[in-house]
Amino acid sequence: MIKKCLFPAAGYGTRFLPATKSMPKEMLPVVDTPLIQYGVEEALEAGLTEIAVVTGRGKRSLEDHFDISYELEHEISNTGKEKSLSGIRHLIEACSFSYTRQVEMKGLGHAILCGRPLIGDEAFAVVLADDLCLNVDGDGVLAQMVKLYEQFRCSIVAIQEVPLEDVSRYGVIAGEAIRDDIYRVERMVEKPRPDEAPSNLAIIGRYILTPDIFALIEQTVPGKNGEIQITDALLKQAKQGCVLAYKFKGQRFDCGSAEGYVEATNFCFENIYKAKTAPQSRRLEAV
Ligand code: UTP
């Protein structure tokens, strides 16, 4: 059973400057909820209650968000505003949170390695909170992946088809299709040019990793952009054993880019916020 979910959240978020100059990208609100909260909700829905966060300098607000604010609670107690905090209160009660710091930003692979003391020797999930994944009609993306892990017991990356001109923003896989939505990974290239991409199947920010990945990251030298890439370690794992790539069901928004962020905001406003804030009578009509 997977219980732990790691959130690498130490990156600089340079694509979203100036908003991210003194505020973590993961705290950007989509309508009324910060990105990291959507990620933790998805983890909890998948049964993962031990949340481990890799933070960095200037990221204290992440820790404060998953804590009680007594002054605020006192201020709004017995008012209609209390219900705005019910979602986050539920997460604080249902999950445990632990934190560690990545002191130098040496890439996603390195950030995951920094999380090792919080994870130990067990399989775990990874969520990149700036990829907002929603599946309003069924299981969330992590829940889908946890079910697959229970069947296959190996590392799994979530993938989606992207236009060929966009592949250079992603890790890209190629492999043998073992089901219409699952590939056994044979090749993996980080941020390829369109003419060197092995496919248009792009890795997005959801992973299930088996703990042998840590030793493989340790052996990984800096790759593309001088960063320690998780894709390089995953390719080694795929060659030694098995890594699956899973075409998830649902929507994914790249909230690290302005376009994806605006799309996510419109989607969440229509599909989540309006339902949540509709007066009781309108909610009953909708049923
Ligand atoms: P991104 O590639 O989105 O990098 O990282 P970034 O630095 O956050 O954003 P840009 O590209 O400069 O705008 C993917 C995820 O990996 C984490 C980030 O916080 C993000 O969740 N990350 C990346 C780390 O934790 N440490 C790193 O050294 C790099």
How confident is residue 137, by pLDDT bands cut at 50, 70 and 90?
Answer: confident
Which ligand 1 atom sits closest to the C-alpha of 130?
21
pLDDT over 90 at 200, yes or no: yes
Query: Would the CB of 15 count as within 6 Å of ligand 1?
Result: yes
Q: Pairing state of beta strands 131-134 and 251-254?
A: antiparallel
Domains of the chain: 4-274 (3.90.550.10)
CA–CA separation, 249 and 139 (whole Å): 8
Confidence of residue 72 (pLDDT cuts 50, 70, 90): confident
**Is the CB of 130 within 6 Å of ligand 1?**
yes
* Ligand 1 centroid to residue 287 C-alpha, Å: 41
Kindly report the number of other CB atoms within 10 A of residue 248's CB atom: 22
The Cα 213–Cα 218 span in angstroms is: 9
Residue with CA at minimum distance from ligand 1 atom 25: 10
CA dihedral 220, 226, 230, 232 (to 10 degrees): -50
Give CA–CA dist 122/211, Å, rounded.
5
Q: What is the pLDDT of residues 231-286, one digit of tens each?
A: 999 999 999 989 999 999 999 999 999 999 999 999 999 999 888 887 765 555 55
Q: Is the CB of 257 under 6 A from ligand 1?
A: no
> Which residue is closest in CA terms to ligand 1's atom 27?
107
pTM score, whole prediction: 0.94
For ligand 1, say whether the CB of 97 is within 6 Å of any of its atoms: no
Distance 128 CA to ligand 1 centre (A): 8
Under 8 Å between Cβ of 125 and 207: yes
Tokens of 176: 């043998």
CA of 12 to the centre of ligand 1 (A): 6
Q: Which residues pair with 133 in a beta bridge?
A: 252
Atom of ligand 1 nearest to the CA of 16: 13
